[in-house]
Amino acid sequence: MEVRRREETAVSFDGRRVLVITTNYGTEQDELEQPVATLHAAGARVTVAAQKDEPVRTLVSDRRPGDTVIPDGAYTELSADLFDAVVVPGGTLNADRLRTDVVAQRLVTEFADAGRTVAAICHGPWLLVDSGLVRGRRLTSYPSLRADLTNAGGTWQDRSVVVDDAGGFPLITSRRPADLEPFSDAIIRSLGGSPGEATPRVGT
């Protein structure tokens, strides 16, 4: 199993900073690594923060062991004031733990209250449900979350990416790893950048 540590890149599109939050086990590998790689390639400064300042063990398709990712630290001491956007990757085990984490709930709520971009993919929108950020919003997710999001007051759409700017903060959601390219591009556009012609692909 490969252990990867990411490198910082130059800042562009007004020095945007992006926070990616995850638990330490069960995150879908590509949903963590590909947005980080794409945002880095666009010039953003990306911080990956986990529940604990320990390695993140990812999974592939919720089953096979994936890469081990070294986070930049724990998110317990972080504030939305330091960032322009937050990204919530999926993975069933990761998202199920993250949705009940009061610190993660506080963080995404801070981003929403400040009018900053909140992005979640696959099972990641579970955290939005438990944080009370779904009512009145258009969004998508892994199909099995449709009832959860609808019951929380959202309007679920079966699209590769849904961008909803109408509810006080930009909300970007996608369904699954196959949607990572439009998902990452939408985050970059939300922050005022221009997506490149090619999206870096990581993992297998």
* Residues labelled catalytic: 123
CB 84 within 8 A of CB 11: no
Long-range contacts of 148-156 (CB under 8 A, 24+ apart): 149/125, 152/128
Look up residue 137 and give its two tokens: 């919003």
Query: What 3-state class would DSSP assign to 57?
Result: strand
Query: What 3-state class would DSSP assign to 181?
Result: helix
Give the DSSP H/E element, type plus range, for residue 30: helix 29-42
Q: Which residue has the tokens 């699954």?
A: 176
